């Protein structure tokens, strides 16, 4: 409750600035506000307290572990889980609207479950199976997300599923494992509910990042034999992220908080920069492309989704005013299918031109909108492109030095010009 505002209400009423009814409405508003907007700091410290408390219990038990009998060890192994379940029950019964209680008790139970699984495995000398441990932990933790309405546990589950995918598919894998996609699907309704109910909270913004990065890391798991068509899948997913980030729902976010837009844009540029070199194209030409595999159909479906989102974007603007990065996934797909019959030099030239076009557009757009961020981003893109060419072209040190001087001078002059133009525009 805002005491400073409430103290002024009697004086405002006595001077007929506001009516008595309005004053009562203001008081009711501030009395109800803490219930709907819990103290964020209290929530953070509650989660940290749960983490530290759980670690403290584990350390105390570990110090005296060898002195206990098997029965005692078994009983002790379940104590953290039982204790944390009691906290969760109390939170649901007595503090159902307190996010601090729900988040901290759910976090405590999450790590208590992991401790119990590990302790039982150690007591009975069960075979070491880290993949099985992760899967069991995730399956027991996901219900907490919905029962306790815990966003922090949801984030940890997304990270755990991504970890499980990496262990299952990228360590000496023989065939693709798809269980992690089902686990992602189970968590998806909670993420959708966050988007509808709390679209601007920090927990929701962290979910954007965790989902974008997690899905991108898990994408190669679709291909059991490193199908080169994965390249189309990668560039298509990055474009889909970019279009999602540019949608009306996400465009209102600050750019550093718009995870899908940022991952899509930076990821597309990084992938394009990689293929401005010769070796990636030569490696791609050496690989056999099997377009009839199931995973190839998945990647081509992602490409079609990207096309649909592109057409929706083009309805709102003309092609000339559209960032070239919108079309990169189409150009990449065309170059991919033509790579076997096309000289590597031609492919490299086209990808370098694409990067140059993106950088030029960013500079032009920055100058037109008086945006120093866009202007300097475009300059950085072109500068990095020139820097990359230092590694695969023969240039004398004098020419390289002159180029660096020109780039530095360009940064200074363009920023000076834009600041001057912005000042004139404001006046």
DSSP string, 352-413: HHHHHHHHHHHHHHHHHHT-HHHHHHHHHHHHHHHHHHHHHS---HHHHHHHHHHHHHHHHH
Higher per-residue pLDDT: 361 or 176? 361
- For 369-403, b/e burial (b = at least 16 CB within 10 A) is ebeeebbbbbbebbbebeebeeeeeeeeeeeeeeb
Domain ranges of the chain: 224-340, 343-427
- pLDDT at site 51: 63
Mean pLDDT within 301-320: 84
- pLDDT at site 242: 92
Q: What is the pLDDT of residues 332-360, one digit of tens each?
A: 889 888 887 788 888 888 998 999 899 88
* pTM: predicted TM-score of the whole model, two decimal places: 0.79
- Separation between Cα atoms, residue 264 and residue 314, nearest integer Å: 18
């Amino acid at each position: 409750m805002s005491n400073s505002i409430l103290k002024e209400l009697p004086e405002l009423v006595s001077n007929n600035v506001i009516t008595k009814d309005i004053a009562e409405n203001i008081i009711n508003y501030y009395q109800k506000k803490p219930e709907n907007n819990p103290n964020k700091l209290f929530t953070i410290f509650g989660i940290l307290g749960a983490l530290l408390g759980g670690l403290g219990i584990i350390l105390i038990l570990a110090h005296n572990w060898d002195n206990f009998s098997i029965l005692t060890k078994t009983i002790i192994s379940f104590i953290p889980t039982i204790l944390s379940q009691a906290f969760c029950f109390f939170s649901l019964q007595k503090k159902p609207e307190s996010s601090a209680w729900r988040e901290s008790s759910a976090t405590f139970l999450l790590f208590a479950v992991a401790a119990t699984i590990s302790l039982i495995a150690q007591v009975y000398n069960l075979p070491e199976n880290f993949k099985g441990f992760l899967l069991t932990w995730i399956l027991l933790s996901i219900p907490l997300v919905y029962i306790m309405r815990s966003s922090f546990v949801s984030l940890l589950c997304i990270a755990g599923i991504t970890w499980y995918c990496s262990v299952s598919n990228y360590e000496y894998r023989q065939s693709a494992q798809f269980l992690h996609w089902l686990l992602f699907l189970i968590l998806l309704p909670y993420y959708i509910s966050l988007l509808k109910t709390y679209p601007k909270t920090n927990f929701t913004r962290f979910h954007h990042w965790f989902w974008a990065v997690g899905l991108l890391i898990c994408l190669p798991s679709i291909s059991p034999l490193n199908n080169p068509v994965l390249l189309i899948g990668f560039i298509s997913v990055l474009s889909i992220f970019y279009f999602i980030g540019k949608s009306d729902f996400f465009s209102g976010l600050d750019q550093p908080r718009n995870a899908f837009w940022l991952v899509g844009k930076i990821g597309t540029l990084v992938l394009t920069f990689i293929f401005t070199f010769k070796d990636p194209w030569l490696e791609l030409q050496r690989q056999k492309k099997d377009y009839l595999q199931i995973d190839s159909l998945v990647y081509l479906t992602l490409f079609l989704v990207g096309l649909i989102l592109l057409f929706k974007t083009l309805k709102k603007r003309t092609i000339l005013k559209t960032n070239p990065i919108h079309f990169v996934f189409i150009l990449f797909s065309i170059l991919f299918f033509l790579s076997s019959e096309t000289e590597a030099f031609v492919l490299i030239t086209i990808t370098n031109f694409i990067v140059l076009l993106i950088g030029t557009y960013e500079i032009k757009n920055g100058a037109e909108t008086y945006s120093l961020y866009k202007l300097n981003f475009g300059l950085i893109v072109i500068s990095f492109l020139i820097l990359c060419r230092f590694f695969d072209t023969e240039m004398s040190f004098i020419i390289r030095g002159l180029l660096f001087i020109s780039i530095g001078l360009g940064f200074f002059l363009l920023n000076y010009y834009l600041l001057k133009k912005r000042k004139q525009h404001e006046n």
